[in-house]
Structure 1
Amino acid sequence: MPKLSIVLPAYNEEQMIDKTAGVLSGLMEKEKIDYELVFVDDGSKDLTWNKIEKICNQNKRITGVHFSRNFGKESAIFAGLANAAGDCCVVMDCDLQHPPETVVEMYRFWEQGYEVVEGVKKSRGKESVLHKASAGLFYKMMSKAVKLDMSRASDFKLMDRKAVEALLAMPERNAFFRALSSWVGYRTTSVEFDVREREAGESKWSTWSLVKYAITNIVAFSTMPMQLVTIAGGLVFLVGLILGVQTLIKYFSGHAVEGFTTVILLVLIIGSIIMFSLGIIGYYISKIYEEVKGRPRYLISRTIRGTDHEIQEIKK
């Protein structure tokens, strides 16, 4: 029977590890699906890793991956995929806000021949007005930048082994999983789901973290900010050309050239655009610098896999 791997990035999720493992294991056994759970501890500061070790000792179908420090969700996703052995892999949140029942629906689509099954948000659940507005702005920015509809996109998706291998073969360090999984192509379909309320713990996504996430991933996946620099330069040139023509007309008509205030404003505007443009270029250069150094996406301190009798530690 084909095996389904479920990759579960976890950061400070000690209250949800046992519940998530129990719910998913029970569901897979009920549906008679051969499965494994791959928990990736992204350098948690609580007892998340202790909980993962405990459930690995109780269930031979569970694998635990422990980062040396916090590397971020994208790195945790790729580490989970790299340590998954299934014929297809599902990536979902450890807090069960992604409905477990939808995993079964995705798997049935995969059995029908689909190689990528996208989880599409039907609703976002309860959120504050500020968080909902910032999330909406984030997804609009991302959609325009990556030229894919990201308005209802999520990290919750199933990928066939060939799609997983295609992602893992990409050498880039700053990878944007949510967009890359669509970019790889293959036979794709989607399923809708309602985001559930978090049962325990707190959301790791503040408004500021969404802004940083947006900037990082736009730069990682798109050159649109660099194109904005060119557009801004073109607009400033057009304004300068109009003012230049106006100045020459006044000069040849015998009128004194006035507008010291205008000159000051132009200098301030042009200076601001130049500094803003240098900031964008500098950010891209910093990302190029990170790629050139060739450091790994993550460092794993321990990998454990449950066996029939004891935990097997896998040294790397």
Structure 2
Amino acid sequence: MLSVVIPAYNEEEMIPKTSQTIDKILKEAGIEHELLFINDGSKDNTWTVIEDEASKNPLVKGVCFSRNFGKESAIFAGLYESKGDCAVVIDCDLQHPPEKIVEMYRLWEQGYEIVEGVKASRGKESGLHRFAAKSFYNIMTDAVGFDMSRASDFKLLDRKAVNVLLNMNEKNAFFRALSSWIGFKSTEVEYDVREREAGISKWSTRALIKYAVTNISSFTSAPLQIVTLLGVLVFGLGLYSIIEALIRYFMGTAKEGFTTVIILQCLTSSAIMLGLGIIGFYISKIYEEVKGRPKFIIDRTTYEK
């Protein structure tokens, strides 16, 4: 059986369309399946619509969080509740083409344990958003050691791979990177990102920045190296200033005043404060991890557990 995990946040307009579209495609392909909608603390009627769909179709199941925990937590909750021999994660807005699920499933039947959905195109994006996304994935590519420039959450995982992910105790787990990092026999399926059919994107600029910072810090210590780099740069600048000052002193052309001293103090202080800020951010993440709080809290479901 195939479990389809569908995180949903304020998607009341898309739930019926998504449910019916995916269900129809999988039935026509003769694939036994279940559809797991994870309501990530939505503020609209998403949960009510999920309950309505579940009452109409026994293959539809719903899980409701006690509050908003974020997309990563919704994905892991769906994997935890899934019963299939394999599971596919897909966005509720249908920007991931659902017909590709069949292609992924056939590859799984051939023995592949992870089938990655990779973007052939990213759809319509602003130049700034495209640049930010490219920068983020360049950092992640360096961190994990493989190309993540076209990576997405749209992928199929064998039950073995699902169990490995669920056994990881990281609170700030980055599904997109971890599912590739764990290895196993993998292949790719290309797709074009589609336009949203209804509703609006739930990703604000602030949310995207927070998402990027959280996932970079959870998967790589690269930002900590900025502290070392800043130290080297400030040291180099200070050494240059010292040499220049000595040369001017012996040549009798030394400048009066404290301009150079003030500049050096400002640069040094800025570098120190930035370094402490980065270190402090990592310490806060360590603090969150050692508290051992759960990734998510399930309030209720549409089925008996």
Q: Could you state the TM-score of these two structures normalised by the residue count of structure 2?
A: 0.94
- What secondary structure sits across from 1:100 in the alignment? coil
**Quick one: which amino acid aligns to residue 173 of structure 2?**
A
Distance apart, 1:304 and its partner CA: 2.1
Residues 241 and 20 from structure 1, CA distance in 2 versus in 1: closer, same or farther, beyond 3 angstroms?
A: same
- Rounded to whole Å, the distance in 1 between the matches of 2:273 and 2:247 is 32
**Contact 1:134–1:207 (8 Å) recurs in 2:** no
Distance apart, 1:145 and its partner CA: 4.4
- Rounded to whole Å, the distance in 2 between the matches of 1:64 and 1:82 is 13
**Quick one: which amino acid aligns to residue 168 of structure 2?**
M
- Runs of 4+ in structure 1 over 6 Å off: none
Distance apart, 1:251 and its partner CA: 5.0
Name the structure 2 match of 1:160: 158
- What secondary structure sits across from 1:197 in the alignment? coil
- Rounded to whole Å, the distance in 1 between the matches of 2:220 and 2:64 is 31
- Rounded to whole Å, the distance in 1 between the matches of 2:129 and 2:227 is 29
**Quick one: which amino acid aligns to residue 84 of structure 1?**
S
**Quick one: which amino acid aligns to residue 165 of structure 2?**
L
- Rounded to whole Å, the distance in 1 between the matches of 2:40 and 2:154 is 18
Which of 220, 223, 226 in structure 1 is aligned with 2:224? 226
Structure-to-structure mapping, 1:1-316, within 5 angstroms: 3-251=1-249, 256=254, 258=256, 260-305=258-303, 313-314=304-305
**Contact 2:245–2:254 (8 Å) recurs in 1:** no
- Rounded to whole Å, the distance in 1 between the matches of 2:230 and 2:222 is 12
**Contact 2:172–2:218 (8 Å) recurs in 1:** yes
Distance apart, 1:262 and its partner CA: 1.8
- What secondary structure sits across from 1:274 in the alignment? helix
- Rounded to whole Å, the distance in 2 between the matches of 1:51 and 1:229 is 49
- Rounded to whole Å, the distance in 2 between the matches of 1:273 and 1:127 is 34
- Rounded to whole Å, the distance in 1 between the matches of 2:242 and 2:280 is 31
- Rounded to whole Å, the distance in 1 between the matches of 2:278 and 2:11 is 35
- Rounded to whole Å, the distance in 2 between the matches of 1:215 and 1:94 is 24
- Rounded to whole Å, the distance in 1 between the matches of 2:171 and 2:7 is 18
Residues 230 and 129 from structure 1, CA distance in 2 versus in 1: closer, same or farther, beyond 3 angstroms?
A: closer
**Quick one: which amino acid aligns to residue 176 of structure 1?**
F
Q: Could you state the TM-score of these two structures normalised by the residue count of structure 1?
A: 0.91
Question: Which is worse superposed, 204-213 or 267-276?
Answer: 204-213
Distance apart, 1:139 and its partner CA: 2.9
**Quick one: which amino acid aligns to residue 104 of structure 1?**
V
Distance apart, 1:300 and its partner CA: 0.5
**Quick one: which amino acid aligns to residue 282 of structure 2?**
Y
**In the TM superposition, what whole-angstrom CA distance separates every residue of 1:67-116 from its partner, at most 9, and x where no partner exists?**
00000000000000000011111000011110011101111111111111
**In the TM superposition, what whole-angstrom CA distance separates every residue of 1:129-174 from its partner, at most 9, and x where no partner exists?**
4433433333334334444322111000011111111111001100
- Rounded to whole Å, the distance in 2 between the matches of 1:74 and 1:149 is 20
**Contact 1:138–1:210 (8 Å) recurs in 2:** no
CA root-mean-square deviation: 1.7
| Corresponding residue pairs, total | 305
